[in-house]
Amino acid sequence: MPQITPKTTPIYQTSVFTFEDLNALELYFSEPGKSYMYTRYGNPNTEELAQEINKLEGGAGAVVTSSGMSGILAAVLSICKAGDHILCAEEIYGGSSTLLSQELTRLGIEVTYVPTADTYTLSSYVKPTTRLLLAETMSNPLLLVLDIEKLAKETRAHNIKLVIDNTFATPVLTKPLALGADMVIHSITKYISGHSDVTAGVVICKQSEDLQRVQKVMMVLGLNLSPFEGWLAVRGLKTLRLRMKQHSSNALEIASYLQQHPKVEKVWYPGLSAHPQHELAKQQGNGMFGGMLSFKIKDDTEAVNRFMQGLQHIPFAPSLAGVSTSISYPMGTSHRSLTPEQQQSMGITTGVIRLSVGIEEPEELLADLEQALAQV
């Protein structure tokens, strides 16, 4: 029978792998990565995904996990233990904030949020027990763009790790490791997979010692990704570059339209020249600005409801980055767990709507937005 060589990696939908004898078992332990034993420890599908993402980010290696949240958990626990201290950017995804403030504090890890104005001057926040700073390339949902190179110099000066969530930008726009970050996190669920049918995460490390620690945390805590999810994500990853170009192009056109609309009070999108970090975003994003934007209509719940009900093709879906456009409501979803004071200080008010721009024809999206805004 002729040898069959598949062009696409098959799905290794198995929880365990077999060994021929004791010699094969010893080979597994003496030459890590040469074979597989148990899918929680590793699987060809998840390994392929990790390797492909690592190539894009330019790290020493990557570890894929069961979700973006478990990726953040693995990264933090690879560095921190009870008694340690974490810094976190004030403008961060609400789920990340909940993990740090409500769960990791229960494990004895202290958390301090750094106000946006103090992002690059950490002296008054760093303690002898501070181990890392967590921040996002572009913040969720108001698209504050981080100067990663500048922040990396500051964290190095204080001998703490810089962990960057690069989900919004993707490595197509920005490669944080090349700019000085120590670890990069992605919710693969979003742009890397791209089709709203996978839940996964990844941690990419600059140093091999960090990589080994993340790998250990993933294995011991059981944060592993399933083979099928890994296979689906690899399939999605193959079109990432093409998708990001269309996401970015569409988002710029829609942001420009919303900016001049009489029913829209404000638009947050780094591609607009009025954005405070526009030049930084252009330089750090290779001339692209991503597919995420937020805008504000009047601060009235009924007005927001009328807008959402008026949309005929764009669904209200509390996630992001799929090939199909969707809207979300930060105050009621991603940032729901924050106090009203925290929401207010971040600028997340009743009228703020987040738009995840897909890869459809922009004319279709503009027409849907136009008739929905007419209802406000």
Annotated catalytic sites, by residue?
40, 93, 165, 190
Tokens 């250990």 identify what position? Answer: 216
**Other Cβ atoms within 10 Å of 108 Cβ, number:** 11
268's enclosing H/E stretch is: strand 266-268
Q: How far apart are CA 198 and CA 194, in angstroms?
A: 8
Torsion sign across C-alpha atoms 249, 252, 257, 261: positive
Tokens 């098959």 identify what position? Answer: 10
Q: Are 250 and 365 in contact (CB under 8 A)?
A: yes
Helix (H, G, I), strand (E, B) or coil at 372: helix
Tokens 């990853």 identify what position? Answer: 237
Burial of 28 by CB count in 10 Å (0-12 exposed, 13-18 middle, 19+ buried)?
middle
Q: How far apart are CA 111 and CA 129, in angstroms?
A: 11
Q: Are 53 and 204 in contact (CB under 8 A)?
A: yes
One-letter amino acid at 35 equals S
Q: Are 191 and 40 in contact (CB under 8 A)?
A: no
Q: How far apart are CA 7 and CA 235, in angstroms?
A: 12
Structure tokens at 191: 């742009």
Q: How far apart are CA 217 and CA 204, in angstroms?
A: 14
Report the length, in residues, of the chain: 376
Q: How far apart are CA 52 and CA 41, in angstroms?
A: 18
Peptide bond into 141 cis (omega under 30): yes
Q: How far apart are CA 253 and CA 225, in angstroms?
A: 36
